[in-house]
Structure 1
């Protein structure tokens, strides 16, 4: 998921731990036994919209620099809401 959002895994883990981004958890939500964390496409899209508010100025600067370096001519197109909707409609997850 961090790769789709073009952010660091560490940032994502911190935000999940702080419960400041949408995500899903398995196991008892009130208990100590949390077995796993994942995100739906809706969660990912919401996180993408939240990124400007979530990132510190330094994180935003690093993300912008990473975007500039990853803009290779043969790079795949970024995922859009339309593509995700098409995947969801044909059952791909």
Structure 2
């Protein structure tokens, strides 16, 4: 919820924009690094487009975060984990 509030504030307060952009870039780099490491360890297919999948995973995480913040009764932690596990399982299967 804090990230959502900060990202929203960065839209209307220019002094926060560069910090928000840097945080977003750092998160993308972390997700990309984790996926590359999983690929090197054999947990993800070699032909997987890690750059594209890191963007897809980041979008999924952003969406789950927003839904959990806005509708916590409909998106409890266990459901969020299930969705994330399903997505990661699909990546392991090649897509």
* TM bin (shorter chain): 0.3 to 0.5
Identify the structure with the greater strand proportion: 1
Name the TM-score, length of structure 1 as normaliser.
Answer: 0.33
Greater share of helix = 2
The higher relative CO (CA closer than 8 Å, separation ≥ 6) is in 2
Q: TM-score of the superposition, structure 2-length normalised? A: 0.32
